[in-house]
Each structure stands twice: as structure tokens, then as C-alpha cells.
Structure 1
């Protein structure tokens, strides 16, 4: 019985099962040591150098994160300001200066012809809107601002515009907010100035509030449960994606050097970049379907007549790696390929390079597959030849096993001597597959997470390379919906590859090996069609290589 082929079968199956667990189910990850999880934020009031006459300390986390229960009645109806650029259309309300809508123009909600632009603000007025600003209890999140414009339209490449909002907290404090927009960027500037117009010393800490729901819908449904949607922060030079079970029971606070914090999905990011030390903590609370978070700063003291200014960058847009790198602030780290980052990012670069030439990501995937196969070709060649030689040795191995069946030690010695005599490496056939497993998972991460592949068509029925391939036959197929043509072709190619590959003389082992294509086909049913395309093309190239080797052996034998 060929133990090495059995080892190969077990290794591949184990890698697929572990990969499936890692990518689709996930392992529980311990919180990094630099995270601090608490249920309240302590106000460092004792650190103030002067004793203020009137103090407005920052409220505890439970107060910061609580759901709004009633609306504030204003003396006039708040109006909304529309910002229209080439990249998005946004609305900002005078009620709290919040963003009530942010629709991307170049990314659609669905693949449908009549689909609207992707809306990044999924919450309602009852649930609250993002980019609320508060300053301790002296300036609450519910404050009526007056905007200096009702609509800003940016129509040329170099267009830039500002929106000024002024609000009074009713206790002598005035808040001035300035939004700055760039027609060619998803990055906005937000400056908040707190002015103490009272006759007393006041204290407060700045807080920028976010409230988010999953981008892919109102709830994290079955189709999206394996993709991360939740709060994320780049803290102390490390990315943390926080799962809901870490803050559902109470607020979770993370403190340290914050590059950015916000909410991210698989393809989109709503992030805030605090500037000049404007943030020291990030507080989260809620559920998987509704997350409330706060980016909080240190306690400040304002003398009568003085002011304090806080500056932020705000990014609402797609997680496109090249663009995020150009923006800076480590926003590109939100594109997280995990362990396979070293392979995945060059693969993404290659995909984009080929796309720039052929304008089709399906063709780009095929060319990247050919390129990777070319790199692995010499190793695969040696492995296939080794397996072919192993096949020739099968009769001799059967005789050795029969002769020394009662002496396992001697039998193993004779088998190893046989390998040495004929210069055969029993593990030579395993190496190519082992080396391709990291490439497989790296490409899987790219095809699942790269915004470039979202809704990217290939040809015929394959209109979205980031989704499973389904050919609609005019009727519903149970569980599948449509017919997974490409997946079935991939399984058939793998079956043919197994038939051409040298097999063990043991019939039981041969049946096990022939069952692998069935396992792979089942596993690939809901994989991205781009990944199936990669594996199908890779199989075809492997078949070609095996045919060439078999022809070479026949020529040499003749």
C-alpha cells in the first residue's frame, strides 16, 4: 500500500478542511495584549492644573454609548445640506451635524441593472447617524447647527468646497464645525472648534460618535455571516477587528496611539483619522447588527473666552488597496489578507496590471494562474516524474512487502534501499501540491476581499467573479439555484488529472484518490467563481504537463 500517496491525500484534505474552518467559520482569537477592555472610562479630573469654577466632566462609557430614546425639540426644523461630487452624494444634517446619507456613485448596491449606488449610512434617525460630536456633558450630541449653504456641487477635477456649521450649546459654549470636500477623493476633513463664551472655566473631552449597520443589508444574514462587518481600529501599529461578542455584554474600551478607527465591511470602510492627538480611546457597544462607537480624546480645560480646536480626517469609501496607500495614515491596513499577505498583495498587483491591459478580470485571473504555474513548473515537473517512477517500482515494492510482511523493520529498510537504488524521492509528488496550498488560499483571500473583483464580469453567465458561478436554466435547482457549470468543469478536470496521474497498484488507495475530485467539487460550490476559474485553469495546465511527461516517457522507452 502506497503510504506516501495516502499521505498526500490526507494532507490535501486536511488543508482544505482547516482552510474552510479558517475562512468560513473562523477560530477564536485572543485579544491583543495592548487592548484594554473595561466597562467605564475614568475621567482624569484630578490631573487639571487649575480648579475650575464649573466643571463638565466626560460622561462614563455607559452614558456615551446608550441608544437615543427621544428626539430634542428645536425652535426650527433642521435642514439637510447636499454634497455632490464625482465620487459620491452625501447629506449632512443641521441636527447634530451628522451624515445622514453617503451614496457611492461608482459602486452599486447589487449587480442588478437598476441598482442604486452603494449607501454606506444604513441607520435611521431613530438609531442615530454617524459623526456626532460631543464635549463632555457641556456639549451633547443633540445640538442644532446653522449651515452656511444648502448644497455644494463639485464638478471639476480640482474642485474643493467647505461647509461651515455653527451651533450653540446653551451654556455659553459655541461649536463651529467645518467639513472640507475634494471632488477626487473619498477623504474629507472635519474640524471642530469649541469656544467658551461663558464667564467660568469649563472642562470637557472631545468625542466623535459613530453608529453603523452592516453594509450588505440591515442584518448580517446567511450570505454575509462569514465576512467581517464590525468596528476596527489601527492601534499601536496593529490592526484589530473587534467581533460583536467582545462588546455585546458591555462597552469595550481600547486605548493607545490611534491611527484610525471606525467600522468596516468586506469591501467598504467608514473610518475617522484623529489628528494632533485628538483621540486616546475607542469605545464600542451594541450588537453585530447595530454598533455604536466613540473616538474619545483627553480632558481639556477652557478658560473664559478661550477655544480649543480638534481636527480629523474622515474616510467613507471602498477599500481599494492602492488608493488607501496613497491616502496614508495606515488606512491600507484595513485590507487584511491575514497570514497570506506576502503572497496576496503581489497577486492583487498582478491582477490589476493584467486588467489594465485586457480590461477583464477573468482574463487577468487566467494570466496570473499561468504565471504562477510557470513559476511552479520545474518543481511540478520533478514531482510528476517522481510519481511516474514510483509507479514503475510498484511491482518490486509488492514483492518486498510480501517477502517481509512479518518483519516490518526489514521491509521498510528494503523499500528505502529500493528508493535509493532507483533515485526516487517518495515525497516528490507531494511537494508541488504542498507549495500551491498557500497560493490557493492567498488567491482566495484576494478574490473574496478585493473591491476590484466585486461585480466584475468575465464572460457569458459569469457576471460576478466574487460570487459563485450559476447558470440560470429557467427553473430553480434545489440548494444551488442555478447550475454551477464552471465548478462542475473544475471537478471534471480534476478527475481527468487523477486518471492521468500515476496511481498506486492498491485498488483501495486508488479509489480514495479518485474520490478527491468529488470532495473538491462539493467544497467549491459556493466559492467565488474567480477562485474556481483559477483552479480550473491550473488543472488544465497540470493535465498538459502530465501529458507531456507521459509522452516523454513513452518516447524514451521506445
Structure 2
């Protein structure tokens, strides 16, 4: 029984830890990168500006000086069933990228989700430069058309051309798909002079962190991320205050991410590239550098990228490849989390309601563990019957712990009771609980997903508006209160130890859990509530079975 108490304490500590992380978010640490250099180490690994003689190498510049708007340039509008993008001829960056299927906030008047914050033509994502971003002179990419309408299932191309004073001609071809957020970009750089030139081609991704807010935005990662050398590298924005961070190696993608969306670039190159991360006030800059190169007279070099501005939806990202799906990370239990997300979406296909899908997934998990949970509950019931005998042994051998343990083991053997029988089923289920916890916390499928009645967003805490503002809560957490009540009733039905101190402590757990779950996403609370109801049903069946068995033994 002591082992059971110890294990129960561990489980409760883990649960309280989860709640503590939710209520008091820690700073996001920087994950170790395969190759990271500081500002000083990277000073000699930069590039040169475009010119006939070699220019001094250096880190990418901040391009923070405002770039004057050219009145002779136009904006190109690209409209697809999934998004509307606006590209500036000046610099060629994306001025706007609106997702049609996602809103900024839960309010229907909030408008569609905007992934780009416009801070002038020099501070837009997807700028292609030949000086590694050291300067602030933007080429003018003249487009063949100013509006592109891409239908479902179609592809369309946009060609833009520019030239530099040094004699370089750039042709930019963008390929859009009507059924995908992925955009292919190809740059053909031609040296039109009779002398070799040195260039430092780079793609600049600059943006502010996404403006949307949710109940969990403050403690989940939001910032620059990259998939380098087979590893997801998330760099805390606070880390960039100390200076630029450089990542080197095989880069699958790099850009700005949070738990729901990402704006990233994918360098399509067999050669290693260098990623430089910088913090510019509220903006984050990611420079994907191809390094210093020489381009011969009349030679043409091609640089290819893909862009992804869209949701972090596993089914979408897996279909695109390029390790984009690696941006979704469910932590230590990722190997369990992604199958659970697949099951959640599977149930949604039939129910068309993610709340119902959560219930069905909870039932499936409960059924899968029903046999071992059954054994564990029966073991706890048997242990409850032995409590009077155990109490007598403790009283008799309280001065001889070794003898007491020996007699207790004999008692367990005589009555064929495993003291760990009630703990092992719980231990096996812990990884699955934490995996599902991560899935319900981070999956964009639950964002703004309604369930029923007052629960209109499964990613937000449940609140029932009662006509006036409730301090701190701003509504009544009805589902959370139901969850706490179910936990209390479950506790009353579950066998407990005879120790009065432990029993009094256990009585407070429903209150502790209710307070802890108040700001949890309603999807998580729904899972826990349904799981409690199923556990109560299982305990009822076990208690009924034991009662019948006792009645039969009494008659005999």
C-alpha cells in the first residue's frame, strides 16, 4: 500500500505540474542546433554586396532604414480558394497573405487570418536579394499582370523581371496552386556584362509574430524555427536579443511559426545553406543565404525555393513533404500523439463535430485499457478488504519494520493480492494521457471548433455568459464544474485506504483539479469529464460484481 501511495503522489505531482505550466508559463528554451554560431563567430561567414570588384563580407544587414515607396510600382493580387496574397513590385515581397478558411479571433466580425504585418517594402517576407541583405536598395520586379485568379485544382504562374545597376538581370517565376498553400518560386539570375561578378543570393523572411490570440498563446512556442540536419530548432525570441544566431547545414525549411500557423521558406538546394536569425524590435528576420558566389559573363544561375504560408495542419503538411510536418511536435510522446490526432480526425469525418470526436476517442482509449484497468480496480478493491489485517500487522510490528514487511508479503501471497496491481494500469496509461493532452492543446483542428450549447471554441476555456461580467473568469466554467463534480463522485465510488490523513487529503483533490482546469482548453476538460464518467461506470460494474460475489459466498 505504501508503494501505491507513493505512485499516487507521483501521478498527482505530474498533473499539478501540467496545471502549473499552464497557469504560470515558463520561458521557452532554445533547443540545441546542429551548428550554431554567435554574432562574432559568424562575422567572417557572411557575403558581399553586388558589384564588379569584391565587396567586404559581413553579416546580413538590418535593412531597418525605411525604403521610400516607388509611386511607379503596382501591387499584384493573387486570389485562390484558400488565400488572397498581395505582392509588391518593389522588392517582390508579400505585403499581405490572408487565409480565407481561418478567422483572426473567435468573433465572426474579426475577419480572416492575416499572416503578414506590413512595415514597408523592405520589411516583407520573401524578398530575394543578391547582397545577402546588407544593403537597403530593392529591385523593382515588373510583373506581366496585376491580378491572378487561381481556381480549384488549377495552377497559374506569375513572371516578374528586374535588373541591377551592375548588369544583372533577374527573372522571377512564381507558381500558385488553387488547392495548396505551397508556392514555388524560381529565380534566374543572368550576368549581362562581359566581366565576372560576385553575388551573395539570399531569401529574406521578415515578419512580426502572428497577431491572433488564444487562451494558450502565451506559453506555447512562437518565434523563428527551422528544420536543420534532421532536427527541429526553435529559437526563443529573447535569445536573439543577445545577437544574431546562425544555423548551418542541410535546411529543409525555415521561418516564423507558432502552435497554429507558419510562414516559412524551403530552399530547394542540394548544397548546405546558412540561416541567420535576427530580432529587429518586434520583427523577426530569417535570412536564407546561398553564400558568396561568382557568376561568369553572360552566365545564368538558378535559385529555387518554395514558400508555405498557412496552417500547421498535420494532414496538409504530410502531403507536402519537405519535413514540413516536423513543425508539429507533441513533445516526448510525439510517437503516440500523431496517431491520436489521426484518430481524432477520423472520428470527425463521421461526426462533423470535434467535441463528439473527442468523446469517441476517449471511449476508444478507455475500451483499449478496459481489461488492465479492470484488473487494477479489482486489485484496489481486494486491497481495501485487507486494510483491517494490514492495520493490525502495523500495530503488532511497529517496532520491527523488517518483520512487518515480511508478514505483509505473506498476507499478500495468502490472499493472492498484488500490492502494485492498482498502480501498473495507471502507469501504462500516463504516456497516452500526456500524448492526448499535447494533441488537444496544439492541434489547429480544435481552433474555433464548436461543440454544443455555450462551448463554441474547443481550444478556449469554457465560459457561459450569464448577463454580467464575473471577475477573472468572465463567465461560469460550467463544464469544468461538471468535471470536478464527476471527479468527486468517482472518488466516492473508488476503494480508498483506511488511513484517515490520506482520505482527508484525497477529498481536496476534486477542488484542486477543478481550479487547475479552469483555464484549460474546453476540449481537454471535455476529455477528462468523459473519462471520469467512463471510470465511474467501470467502478460501478466492479462494485456490483463484488457485491454479488459476497452475497453468494454468504449464502454458502
Fold in common (TM above 0.5): yes
Q: How does 1:79-94 map to 2 (within 5 A)?
A: 79-94=74-89
> Is 2:159 aligned against 1:146?
no
Residue 126 of structure 1 and its aligned partner are, at CA, apart by 7.6
Moved more, 426-435 or 495-504: 426-435
Q: Which residue of 1 aligns with 2:2?
A: 3
| Alignment counterpart, residue 546 of structure 1, candidates 515, 520, 539 | 539
Structure-2 change in CA distance of 1:550 and 1:54 (3 Å): same
Residue 29 of structure 1 and its aligned partner are, at CA, apart by 5.0
> Is 2:204 aligned against 1:202?
no
| Alignment counterpart, residue 340 of structure 2, candidates 347, 355, 359 | 347
Q: Determine the C-alpha separation between the residues in 2 that align with 1:549 and 1:345.
A: 33
Structure-2 change in CA distance of 1:303 and 1:488 (3 Å): same
Q: How does 1:404-415 map to 2 (within 5 A)?
A: 404-415=397-408
Residue 211 of structure 1 and its aligned partner are, at CA, apart by 1.1
Q: Determine the C-alpha separation between the residues in 2 that align with 1:35 and 1:262.
A: 17
Moved more, 241-250 or 429-438: 429-438
Moved more, 3-12 or 342-351: 3-12
* Superimposed CA distance per residue, residues 60-103 of structure 1 (whole angstroms, 9 cap, x where no aligned partner): 22xx24142132464x4321000001000000001100000000
> Is 2:430 aligned against 1:437?
yes
Are the equivalent residues in 1 in contact too, given 2:51–2:197 (CA < 8 A)?
yes
Are the equivalent residues in 2 in contact too, given 1:59–1:136 (CA < 8 A)?
no
Q: Which residue of 1 aligns with 2:181?
A: 186
| Alignment counterpart, residue 42 of structure 1, candidates 37, 41, 44 | 44
| Alignment counterpart, residue 290 of structure 1, candidates 283, 290, 297 | 283
Q: Which residue of 1 aligns with 2:16?
A: 17
| Alignment counterpart, residue 53 of structure 2, candidates 22, 30, 55 | 55
3-state SS of paired residue (1:248):
helix
Q: Which residue of 1 aligns with 2:226?
A: 233
Q: Which residue of 2 aligns with 1:377?
A: 370
3-state SS of paired residue (1:350):
helix
Q: How does 1:368-517 map to 2 (within 5 A)?
A: 368-517=361-510
Q: Determine the C-alpha separation between the residues in 1 that align with 2:487 and 2:47.
A: 68
| Alignment counterpart, residue 110 of structure 1, candidates 100, 105, 109 | 105
Q: Determine the C-alpha separation between the residues in 1 that align with 2:96 and 2:360.
A: 40
3-state SS of paired residue (1:224):
coil
Structure-2 change in CA distance of 1:127 and 1:397 (3 Å): farther
Residue 58 of structure 1 and its aligned partner are, at CA, apart by 7.3
Q: How does 1:106-185 map to 2 (within 5 A)?
A: 106-125=101-120, 128-136=123-131, 142-155=138-151, 157-185=152-180
- Where in structure 2 are there 5+ consecutive unaligned residues? 552-556
Moved over 6 A (4+): none
* Superimposed CA distance per residue, residues 165-213 of structure 1 (whole angstroms, 9 cap, x where no aligned partner): 1122222122221111111111001111222123321111211101122
Residue 278 of structure 1 and its aligned partner are, at CA, apart by 6.4
- Where in structure 1 are there 5+ consecutive unaligned residues? 47-51
Q: Which residue of 2 aligns with 1:99?
A: 94
Are the equivalent residues in 2 in contact too, given 1:139–1:169 (CA < 8 A)?
no
Q: Determine the C-alpha separation between the residues in 1 that align with 2:508 and 2:20.
A: 21
Q: Which residue of 1 aligns with 2:554?
A: none
Q: Which residue of 1 aligns with 2:295?
A: 302
Are the equivalent residues in 2 in contact too, given 1:72–1:142 (CA < 8 A)?
no
Q: Determine the C-alpha separation between the residues in 2 that align with 1:336 and 1:373.
A: 25
> Is 2:307 aligned against 1:314?
yes
Are the equivalent residues in 1 in contact too, given 2:19–2:517 (CA < 8 A)?
no
Moved more, 499-508 or 220-229: 220-229
3-state SS of paired residue (1:175):
strand
Q: Determine the C-alpha separation between the residues in 2 that align with 1:297 and 1:22.
A: 40
